[in-house]
Amino acid sequence: MGDGIRLLTRKAEVREFVAQARSRGERIGLVPTMGAIHQGHQSLVRRAIECGAGTVIASVFVNPTQFSPTEDFDAYPRTLEADLAAMEEAGAAAVFAPSVAEMYGEALVESMRVHGLTSFGFLSHAVAGSAARLWEGERRPTHFDGVTMVVSKLFNIVGPDVACFGEKDFQQLAVLRQMVADMDFDLEVVGCPIVREEDGLAVSSRNRYMDDAQRERALALSRSLREAREAFAAGQRDVGALVSGIRATLEAERLDIDYAEIVDASTLEPLDSLEGIDGADARAILAARVDNTVRLIDNASLA
């Protein structure tokens, strides 16, 4: 690049930018984000480069179709200048930050305003099966429709060879892997480990919603997962006991639990038993609210 990171706001500019990179023989990496860029997002860019992407495009788009009317779409942090600097530091060649109208067209923006629609029954139910139906899908019924819609559009706009997603959103990663398989997208989906603060809190754009005391209590999420891993390593194979332990740790900090489960790492179906199961195939997943301020998710392999 040499002359700094490029900001692209139009789909046509992205296509042109990608065509130029391809003419230099480069592989293309895509890192979709909603901005408020942090070390977690930066790790995805670095991973895309490690996977051979000579040109990495990060998208920064607070996607209205994945928020329900009661969620934080308006409040979601928008920090494009800082995002550009952080993405440049990580090694991205360009940031694609379209307006909602550029992404979806005026008609859709208008219909969302008029009807309050945030989603329209798209790919997630058609293709992603149980991975989209359970857990987050149950609590946020239109969420994965919005996610699969925007990510499939990004795949069509950018045409990446490799797309990196964080295990932080473990269910989203499973849904998108399934979508790519079901819809024959010709690209590699790479799942990347959760980046954590030193004290264990999973880095998230939503952490800024918490004050110091709430943040301290939120450490129970990662602590409960660590305890579950330790118990599994010590031979605990009783799912009920592991889940009770997680719940007790969360409840001790007065967190409201949305769900806390041990699931099959590929189908996300709950596991009844861990006898004979490799810890790497089992995932502890959880979602909890800190007061009514913020809803946090976290997960960990039992291995």
Catalytic (active-site) positions: 41
Q: Decide if 97 contacts 172 (C-beta within 8 A).
A: no
Structure tokens at 189: 């989906």
Smallest distance from ligand AMP to CB 240, Å: 29
Smallest distance from ligand AMP to CB 67, Å: 11
Nearest to ligand AMP of 32, 245 (CB atom)? 32
Smallest distance from ligand AMP to CB 97, Å: 12
Nearest to ligand AMP of 67, 122 (CB atom)? 67
- Closest residue (Cβ) to ligand AMP? 166
Q: Decide if 171 contacts 137 (C-beta within 8 A).
A: yes
The dihedral built from the CA positions of residue 260, 266, 272 and 276, taken in this order, carries a sign that is: negative
Smallest distance from ligand AMP to CB 175, Å: 11
Nearest to ligand AMP of 28, 194 (CB atom)? 194
Nearest to ligand AMP of 55, 204 (CB atom)? 204
Nearest to ligand AMP of 88, 167 (CB atom)? 167
State the residues that interact with ligand AMP by CB under 6 A: 33-34, 40-41, 43-44, 165-166, 168-169, 192, 194-195, 202-205
Smallest distance from ligand AMP to CB 60, Å: 8
